[in-house]
A and B are shown apart, each in its own frame.
Chain A
């Protein structure tokens, strides 16, 4: 599998006034192969969304590079860069309520990309919008309606159609289902899966629902406080977590199975994710980690490959 997108020590800090720096994403390296689905999980505040947006150039890079098909992308996009790359890389947003302009019709929202990025005539834009509405399970005559006339699941389909109408190669899905009901989540996931097969998409699937990420993804990446702590095949990471944080995350994920829930011990950890402002040296998980050693508090662990190169873990237990 050839690499499509590669993040090399990608870093994004936010300055908040005097000596205050939010280390949202720090030195995250991740390669995403062609037609692969990589799931990205972590608690809120772990930097998942910032990573996704920085990857697409929606945030400027503080340092590090994004390599797309061998081309190093600029660290700050100019309008021309957006114009050139938007047709290849797209994003599906988390909140289907705030990410659609309430003053535009659905046809205008979905067709906007085509109008800006292709020389298509008004008629052909209309035709393609109608086709995409059908593809995502809506009706072509929905084109003239406004977003408020649709339910959450339908809006998420509109967001998907908007992202995919330019036939991008790489799509970042930022929590595409977390605002939806269970029965509708499955509809959206199956739709994404179908379109992925048909169009040969590569996806970065950001979510906090571990079961769903395991179901959807080929590989799973786990982030904690801005750094990548574990990466491997989705099933292996889920069923055999190596990093203590992944273990706790998987153990905290309740399963719809009463017998299993009654029999397994609680893995709730004390404390909460600390503030990413001015992060101290050492492993970022050290102060909550049940297995922390002295070295963890002083030295930042590197991401190292375990026995097979498929699994990367950033933890001193393995060095």
Chain B
């Protein structure tokens, strides 16, 4: 984060996104999809980005990957540095391509993300040929090995099959095999299990964790499911209306939530902990229209603790400690209520 000035490359985090702004031109006007996002990802760690549809979580990672169509999209400000090298607007750093080589990505819907006219093995082999200069035969052999690594039974036979012959869970495994084929330092998973059943979801999450342990890659996991976050994340960034509203370790965000939106999300979900039984408390209203984003805090209109200042001025980062920040006026010393009072009272530390 910018608080302590520019850091040297040596101790810079693996990926550091600072003050990212992304807009899209549409017939209805300009949508400010991402309005100043800061995130950091460390080697071997999993960062979960949580938020509702339209909060800008996918656009954030697509900007890093260079997947924003321009036009209509536009990155208006900000930077994203991989090991200290700027990646926004570039295809390669240090002579290596970013997309596919340095950062691998898997998508929500494996059915529509794979080419239906290419065999699974050939699709996995393609990045190896493009990025690492493998011959076609070597690449295919490596593809079979990667499918085995992704726990696909009878990998040699399966590699010659086409996407329609695979189930959803199997396709997601194949996508993971493809994403990790060039040994990326970061794997971005955009809602990787949303389309899958819980039993298959558990298999895929186990696989991602096992591969992370084996390769030491970092994972950026985009999801709206707090259960998946709890299971996978070391760090959590909660996004709302194009901004990160809270960022911290999983324990900080779950047990010491410091933003009313994070608290609202938790209270809107049923828990199965008998000690924490509560009535479902929905967050009333709906997210703001990003064609005309609110001047102040984006959550202001739905926040039960909103004050006058929230409506006119966006809150700045408030650091609860080194790695835990919240963007909320309640942390200001003149706030009438202390944020501690809106935490879960019986939260377990």
B228-280 residues with Cβ-Cβ distance < 8 A to A are 228-231, 233, 250-251, 254-255, 264-266, 268-274, 280
> Which of A151, A186, A212, A256 is within 8 Å of B282, CB to CB?
A186
Question: Does A102 reach chain B (CB closer than 8 Å)?
Answer: no
Per-position 1/0 for A217-250, Cβ under 8 A of B: 0000000000000000000001100000000110
B202 and A255 form a contact (CB under 8 A): no
Question: Does A119 reach chain B (CB closer than 8 Å)?
Answer: no
Shortest distance from the beta carbon of B273 to any chain A beta carbon, whole Å? 6
Per-position 1/0 for A123-149, Cβ under 8 A of B: 000000000000000000000000000
In the complex, what residue of chain A is closest to B170 when comparing beta carbons? A272
- Knowing A181-B224, A249-B199, A256-B269 touch, does A272 contact B251 (C-beta < 8 A)? no
- Knowing A182-B52, A182-B265, A183-B268 touch, does A208 contact B198 (C-beta < 8 A)? yes
Shortest distance from the beta carbon of A271 to any chain B beta carbon, whole Å? 9
Per-position 1/0 for A261-275, Cβ under 8 A of B: 100001111101100
How far does the alpha carbon of A261 sit from the alpha carbon of B225 in the complex, in Å?
14
How far does the alpha carbon of A260 sit from the alpha carbon of B276 in the complex, in Å?
13
- Knowing A186-B282, A266-B206 touch, does A258 contact B198 (C-beta < 8 A)? no
How far does the alpha carbon of A248 sit from the alpha carbon of B198 in the complex, in Å?
10
- Please indicate the chain B residues that have their CB under 8 angstroms from the CB of A269 in the complex: 199, 203
How far does the alpha carbon of A238 sit from the alpha carbon of B264 in the complex, in Å?
25
- Knowing A184-B286, A190-B282, A272-B200 touch, does A254 contact B225 (C-beta < 8 A)? yes
Question: Does B53 reach chain A (CB closer than 8 Å)?
Answer: yes
> Which of B52, B53, B198, B284 is within 8 Å of A252, CB to CB?
B198
Interface centre among A215, A249, A269 (most CB of B within 10 A): A215
A252 and B271 form a contact (CB under 8 A): no
Question: Does A187 reach chain B (CB closer than 8 Å)?
Answer: yes
How far does the alpha carbon of A248 sit from the alpha carbon of B52 in the complex, in Å?
28
In the complex, what residue of chain B is closest to A45 when comparing beta carbons? B197
Question: Does A289 reach chain B (CB closer than 8 Å)?
Answer: no
A254 and B169 form a contact (CB under 8 A): no
How far does the alpha carbon of A44 sit from the alpha carbon of B224 in the complex, in Å?
20
Interface centre among B254, B255, B282 (most CB of A within 10 A): B282
- Please indicate the chain B residues that have their CB under 8 angstroms from the CB of A183 in the complex: 52, 264-265, 268, 282-283
B225 and A214 form a contact (CB under 8 A): no
A256 and B264 form a contact (CB under 8 A): no
Closest 8 CB pairs of A and B: A254-B227, A186-B282, A215-B270, A256-B226, A183-B283, A252-B202, A186-B268, A268-B202
List residues of A whose CB falls within 8 A of some B CB: 43-44, 151, 153, 181-187, 189-190, 208, 210-212, 214-215, 238-239, 248-249, 251-261, 266-270, 272-273
